[in-house]
Structure 1
Amino acid sequence: MGFSVPTITSWLGILELGCSNPAVLNYWKDKLYALSDLSGQVIRSLPNVRDRLKAYDSSEVVAQLGCPVSRQSFSDQLAMLADDELAHSKPLAQLMAADALAALLRLAAWLTAESQVASWEVEVQEGTQNVICAAWAIPNWCPITQSWSNPMQTALEKLAALAGSTKKRPGPVTHLGKLWAAHDGMEAESRIRLLRNWVQHKGGRPSFQMLHDLVTVCFDFHIKERNDLPADVIPAYWEGACMLRFAETMSVIIRDLQRAGWPRELVTSVMDVYATEYRTARDLMGKPIEN
């Protein structure tokens, strides 16, 4: 049609190469092409910022993939702002960023659901077929503590339990640090400090290899305790490290959104799309969640 949107091409390539369930590509292909038309043709054909923002907000695909609260607030902001304020409006920028985050979380939900469906026999055997995988990695608001959960902390608690921790003391960070250090022949305090920094977002983000190493140690401990060695244990290490990266990423995102002063209602709306989209994905893959 005379134009190209490289981002759309990249996402289509990832889905075509990485997804075995045809429902994934069937669902996302039309939406990605609609986004391509919106950004590559419709918006560029409009003469001014206000018309472009109106076209964006009224787009069906933005409503489908974006953040629900953004849709409620976007038109109100457009009505309130003068033309020369639109390009520099912080509330509008937040609403559009919320749409982008929501779309990425919806995509993550599909990819995670596809992985669950691909290992369906194991899920049924373990009784986890009606679980929304990785829902624990989505930050949630606690009205009692008036704070958001830290998914990285939750991830380490889950790994510690997998690796034999049955007590509150020592805590998951100490338990995992000692186990990891013993495996690598290092001082326990070094690993404990590293894990504590991950939870507290200090010293930079962990590399994927570090996450993979920790998951491998924990999985191996669990396998030895159960006295069985799954045939697919190597891919399981990688998938476990991906889940740990997802949790770590979400913990960074919730930290940054709080620092940026995002309204709690907007953040909650973004986070809520994961579970909703997960159910949609399972339905369209022919494996609906039954509770």
Structure 2
Amino acid sequence: MREAHVSELVDLLQLERLEDNLFRGQSRDIGTRFVFGGQVLGQALSAAQQTVDPAREAHSLHAYFLRAGDIDAPIVYSVERARDGGSFSSRRVVAIQHGQPILNGAVSFQVPEKGFEHQASMPDVPAPEDIEPLPPVPPERLARLPVKLQRWLGMDSPIEFRDVWPQDKLNPVKRPPYQHIWFRLAAPVEDSPALHRALLAYASDFNLIGTATLPHGISYYTHNVQMASLDHALWFHRPFRVDEWLLYSFDSPTAQGGRGLARGQIFDRGGRLVASTAQEGLIRLRGE
């Protein structure tokens, strides 16, 4: 079953080309109220990659979420070929629904080259095989939740997660603002580096802004908390495969003014830092 979900995710990132710089993508309802932000990120990167010489690799993506996406409508991606230089290419991407932009993004590409290297060390954590997967939510507990949350918590995800420090997100407790989570696709996919970058863009939105909620004993599921991603940055450092285990190491240095900031480092099994992320999100306490 999970293999089918992985295939569906890969298809979701394979956009329909309408014109040289115009693409259309569909949406997948995963139980969120609106289109999952990682889907729009992955599709925007996929659109940009299709307008660049394949020899040039995406090394950074910066995006602002402007409006909530409608799950029941396709998304059109308009790509502007801002610049093609000797070593770098730059693309601007606008995701459009119902005639309005829902995301503005920029992607930078580079011809691979050698240079100085250093990196942060991977945290010392248990291997994913030594961590038990989270058990499913008991049916009687699931039945008391809104239908959307039932789908979110009850679905077979195309991505496997292993939390180093798991918590009950339906009843969260206060804890320090950092966490480590192993993840990988639930089935192998083709070797295309462009596909794996789009898949990582998709996966990078899971759990990121949630790190900023940890010291406050709340989560996305808390009934009087409003949460939404405001922006997202992703840097690709070294080659990787999303169908092999990757460690996502998160921290949140600050929350204030109804917003929280979270950062992430993504390591492969060999300890190589393959990508970095940052995101600011809305975290607003609503009245009862």
Coarse TM-score class (shorter-chain normalised)? under 0.3
Bigger helix share: 1
Bigger strand share: 2
Specify the structure having the higher radius of gyration (Cα): 1
TM-score between the two structures when normalised by the length of structure 2: 0.28
